[in-house]
Amino acid sequence: MEYRTLGSTGLRVSALGYGASPLGGVFGAIDAAEGVRAVRTALDLGVNFIDVSPFYGATGAETVLGRALRGVDRSSYLLATKVGRYGEAEFDFSARRVVRSVDESLGRLGCEYVDLIQCHDVEFGDLRQVVEETVPALERLRETGKVRLVGVTGYPLEALAHVADRARVDTVLSYCRYTLLDRELLRWTPRFHRRGIGVINASPLAMGLLAGSGTPAWHPAPARLREHARRVARLCRRRGVDIARVALRFAAAPPEFATTVVGSASADEMTRNVRWALEPVDEDLLDEIEALVSPVLNASWPTGRPENSDPR
Ligand code: NAD
């Protein structure tokens, strides 16, 4: 495994991180025992960064993850969870709720502290509240030892930068923004780095769009993006290469990202993912993919409050 420094925290994180949303059944029903094996396999192969949220599977992912982490040396991994998002349309970034949320997560995870607490999908909230109330409340929690670092997550990069410019955050996580289909996160990264903020790249397979196994019905990508993802899958199939392998390596390669977080509830997938993240892929194939996706490159979708969405 390759390790990189997380912003100015000095912490070393694995270039491939583990994303626990599939443990909550986000991508379809799972076998919890297999989910536990997926986590243990990732840890055994050197993954030391784990991301989860109470939102995933309505707290289900944290519960399964807590089972997987039982008995594992707490100093061997960095655990990140989130506050503020509790349902598809259920958000509460108030100081009172997020402080309670941390205690609830610690209970489910069976841990005394989390390394990183993140405001989940800030674009759905009032950014001013996130800056003036939510982040300061989480900052104060550091003194209790329940959290070590504070971060923000979301899809629109402008909203994340707005918060990062005004609040003291250690990390920014965005998803589906550095993949075969979108390169925007890398463009925004220097701006975060100037403030010493570590950048976390989530959803290298574009939440299943580039996994080669069909896209979940809830996926927000517009039809033409889905169609181009299918074309990339067909091209990879013709070349005899798994699209997930190409997509994963492409997303995880830039050293500017502290870590790239992939989700899976399968031990076999995680075994492959660790290998694929570190193995270069054929440059000619990447050139062909580049040409194929050029009509839709960086085509984002609106999300969150209209005033917080990235311009189209
Ligand atoms: P992803 O791009 O990692 O894709 C996950 C899907 O790809 C799952 O269906 C999984 O089974 C499949 N997959 C994984 N490895 C595979 C392989 N080797 N072959 C075939 N299919 C494979 O999407 P994700 O899980 O949404 O993102 C990763 C993690 O990032 C999440 O679990 C979560 O922790 C984090 N995340 C955070 C936010 C946020 O904070 N707003 C948003 C999205 C993701």
pLDDT digits (tens, 9 = 90+) for 63-122: 999 999 999 999 999 999 999 999 999 999 999 999 999 999 999 999 999 999 999 999
| Closest residue by CA, ligand 1 atom 7 | 208
**Which segments of 93-222 does DSSP mark as H helices, in order?**
95-109, 127-129, 135-142, 157-166, 184-193
Please say whether the beta carbons of 296 and 289 come within 8 A.
Answer: no
If you average pLDDT over every residue of the chain, what do you get? 97
Tell me, what's the pLDDT at 148? 98
Show the low-confidence residues of the chain (pLDDT under 50).
Answer: 312
One-letter amino acid for residue 164 of the chain: A
Tell me, what's the pLDDT at 214? 79
One-letter amino acid for residue 58 of the chain: A
CA of 307 to the centre of ligand 1 (A): 27
Please say whether the beta carbons of 156 and 176 come within 8 A.
Answer: no
Residue to mutate, 174, 175, 246, ligand 1, most ligand atoms under 8 Å from C-beta = 175
Please say whether the beta carbons of 210 and 180 come within 8 A.
Answer: yes
Counted domains in the chain: 1
In a domain? residue 208 = yes
In a domain? residue 113 = yes
CA of 245 to the centre of ligand 1 (A): 13
Which tokens belong to 138?
């989480």
**Residue 86: active-site member:** no
In a domain? residue 298 = no
In a domain? residue 301 = no
In a domain? residue 219 = no
pTM, to two decimals:
0.98
pLDDT per residue as tens digits for the range 188-211: 999 999 999 999 999 999 999 999
Question: In CATH, what number is assigned to the domain containing residue 33?
Answer: 3.20.20.100
Ligand 1 atom closest to 245 (CA): 18
Pocket of ligand 1 (CB under 6 A): 19-22, 27, 51, 120-121, 153-154, 173, 175, 202-208, 211-213, 244, 261-264, 269, 272-273
10 Å CB burial of residue 28 (0-12, 13-18, 19+) is: exposed
In a domain? residue 235 = no
Which tokens belong to 135?
């982040």
Ligand 1 atom closest to 272 (CA): 18
Domain that holds residue 179: 3-212+244-283
In a domain? residue 312 = no
**Given 56, 77, 155, 175, which residue is catalytic?**
56
Ligand 1 atom closest to 120 (CA): 40
In a domain? residue 194 = yes
